[in-house]
Amino acid sequence: MNRRSDTHWVKRRFDRITPYYPWIERLLLVPQNARRRAVEGLQLGPGGHVLVVGCGQGPSLEALSKLVGPEGSVVGLDLSGKMLQRAQRIVEQKALSNVELLQQNLFQHTPEEPVDAVFFEFSLSSFGDPHRGLKHTWSHLKVGGWMVVLDGQLPPKLRWLTRPLMPLIRWTLERTVLGDTDMRPIEALEQLGSEVHLEWFRRRTYFVAQLLKSQ
Ligand SMILES: C[S@@+](CC[C@H](N)C(=O)[O-])C[C@H]1O[C@@H](n2cnc3c(N)ncnc32)[C@H](O)[C@@H]1O
């Protein structure tokens, strides 16, 4: 069984790495402009309602909160209570009154009303079954709403370098951010049946995928 399907295990993993998470992000050279582009891709305006899947320590909560304004709402969902504690600090320090944080498994979450946008923020590749996660949230997205997936993969042009290092890369990812090197995130997205707009960063290591739910 893919251990990423075991939510207790995933929760424990992220609880454990919470204090080191900002360092891991730096080591992985996560491009901050990709985060900005992802937030823009959600096409939110005042009064919008957005669900952030796997919001972790909340790197985008402030930007999202400003975009939707006092009439809108941002729901940040995460399995890990420790990651959410850090997000809660941002919410309090910045007085983000339109942000709600929920410690919940995505598959147990059903919003009261369909949302205007869904944001998988570096969370899709830590799912055991990405297609199931995408399908579940797609059903909670309004027609005319946008789904944005920010995630990463091994850079294809550096395969000559990564291939011999695969055991080490797998071992490291399994002990840190749980990125699944065997996962095909773009293929999983294409199965939703909408056109996938892609923007790449750092030589195709990171991407922002944007999909409009048109019907
Ligand atoms: C790699 S972290 C990304 C955190 C943050 N969004 C960021 O960009 O830094 C992935 C997050 O997804 C959460 N996660 C994984 N599976 C989940 C699930 N089934 N339901 C809710 N959250 C989940 C983890 O707890 C973790 O905090």
Cα atoms in the Cβ-side hemisphere of radius 13 Å centred on 38: 28
* Per-residue model confidence (pLDDT) at position 170: 80
155: containing domain: 3-212
Residue whose CA is at the smallest distance from ligand 1 atom 3: 122
Task: Give which of 178, 31, 183, 60 is closest to 118, Cα–Cα.
Answer: 60
* Per-residue model confidence (pLDDT) at position 9: 87
Q: Is 106 in the pocket of ligand 1 (CB under 6 A)?
A: yes
Please tell me the pTM assigned to this model. 0.94
Which H or E element spans position 174?
Answer: helix 166-175
Instruction: DSSP for 109-142, please give it.
Output: ---SS-EEEEEEES-GGG-SSHHHHHHHHHTTEE
Q: Is 14 in the pocket of ligand 1 (CB under 6 A)?
A: yes
Q: What is the CATH number of the domain that holds 164?
A: 3.40.50.150
Q: Is 120 in the pocket of ligand 1 (CB under 6 A)?
A: no
Would strands 197-201 and 206-212 be described as parallel, antiparallel, or unpaired? antiparallel
Cα(22)–Cα(108) distance, integer angstroms:
28
* Per-residue model confidence (pLDDT) at position 177: 66
Cα(56)–Cα(129) distance, integer angstroms:
19
Cα(21) to ligand 1 centroid in Å equals 12
Residue whose CA is at the smallest distance from ligand 1 atom 16: 127
Mean pLDDT per 10-residue interval, the chain, length 215 residues:
78 93 89 97 98 98 98 97 98 98 95 96 86 94 97 81 80 73 82 95 92 94
What ligand 1 atom has the least distance to the C-alpha of 106?
20
Cα(177)–Cα(166) distance, integer angstroms:
16
Mutual orientation of helices 81-93 and 7-17 as an angle, nearest 10°?
50
Number of independent structural domains in the chain: 1
Q: Which percentage of the chain shows pLDDT scores above 70? A: 97
